[in-house]
Structure 1
Amino acid sequence: MFGYSGKILRINLSSREIREEKLEEEVVKNWLGGRGLGVYYFLKEVNPKVDPLSEENKIIFLTGPLTGIQGAPTPGRAIVISKSPLNNRLSWSSSGGKLGPYLKFAGYDAVIIEGRSNEPVYLLVSDKGVEIRDAREIWGKNVFEAYEYLYNKIKEEFHIKDLSIVCIGPAGENLVKYSSILVEKYHAFGRMGFGAILGYKKLKAIVVFGDKKPEIYDGESFRRNVAEIIKKLRSSDIINDLSKYGTLGMLITRVIPIMRFLLIT
């Protein structure tokens, strides 16, 4: 399938089982990728009454068909899906940074994380293999300290130029219900308290790297259509407001979580 790696990575922290699964073309046709694909897997596999901070809750990191494709609009975004400890509902968050592209380069469209580790661990995900590693040495460190430690360690170990690191700090470790998951220190899955889910699972970080670039069907046609799409995006008032003000550009619509997520009419 063009634009996809064609594989889902499933990691169970309780049993330490690591498994690759085929991403079925029929699923892609119906759910596309990113949030859609995450909702498909979550609703299929997780009891809606599950406690967010429990072994039964899963957290899924996802890419889309344009993720990691040079020249595409927003090719660096990644999505995380889980049941939120903040609102007790199936929720999602989005982040920039290098995680999305590097998941694709490692050979995966999504990573499904299940269960709970007894000891602090981090995941190493690459096109060279997948490992669950001891993270006791960095448990308790803030995200900047943990990032620097892992970045230098893995670069030296594998002799690579670059990688992506997803990490939580003490807030996530202590199950603060609005804690974030940081990506490369300055990007974040900032909403829905997903840092607490990684903290409960004793998962300090995920390190990702690889060289498997996704393929596109018709490069010339793709570039021509992308140029037209970018032209339209640049003329959009909504996009310009988001670029200038961030998500505060949506304030007038009140499409933001306020008043404890109560419905406002």
Structure 2
Amino acid sequence: MTTPRVAIVTGAARGIGAATALRLARDGHAVAVLDLVEDGCLPVVQAVERAGGRALAVGADVSEEDAVASAFARIEAELGAPTILVNNAGIIRDNLLFKMTAGDWDAVMGVHLRGAFLMSKAAQAYMTKEGFGRIVNMSSTSALGNRGQANYAAAKAGIQGFTKTLAIELGKFGVTVNSIAPGWIQTEMTAATAERMGVPFEELLEQWAGQIPVARVGQPEDIAAAVSFFVSEDAGFVSGQILYVAGGPLG
């Protein structure tokens, strides 16, 4: 039986984040649906509430320290002390190295790495006090290297080192920290990749599926299912792991 807890999912207005918020709510947790614009989170919150769950829309820039502090204060006041955190917020600013600007680099690092750092630092205070915590950081198969994504690949590789270090530091407090590295997942973000490449999205999905052993692209719910396991009480002896959810052997 799952103990109901308070979960925070960042980047939860759409895609993998939205699917994860819905899955954790279905698992019995109250969910803070956090994204840059609060109104964008309302459809996910409403879907949770229609299904009988508890959710809260929170607008915050995860790369801003004051915004993170305010978000946690509000979540604690309205839902309770958060002991599950899914660091999913992310952006892309793809370009080949010689075209990539310092702003493109800093923006991606700020959301992915600084954001995960600030959110995890704030969350661990509640988790260590409670003697229970689950942090799941979203990496990517791009951490293995991907043309046109020097910033994104570096950030996602950094997430993996960050995950392993937190697992070492926080384990004795009952907190596990793991990372999921999705492969090709059908989301608005990958649709933007298709647009950047000048390829129809459906055509690109077919190309990706042809390269994947299970012969299909992933769906946000595939990632949400992996998150559900990592945050469960049954996963208490699993920490510091990088799970490639990519339809085949990677990593």
Same fold at TM > 0.5: no
- What TM-score, normalized by structure 1, do the two folds share? 0.29
- What TM-score, normalized by structure 2, do the two folds share? 0.30
> Higher strand share goes to which structure?
1
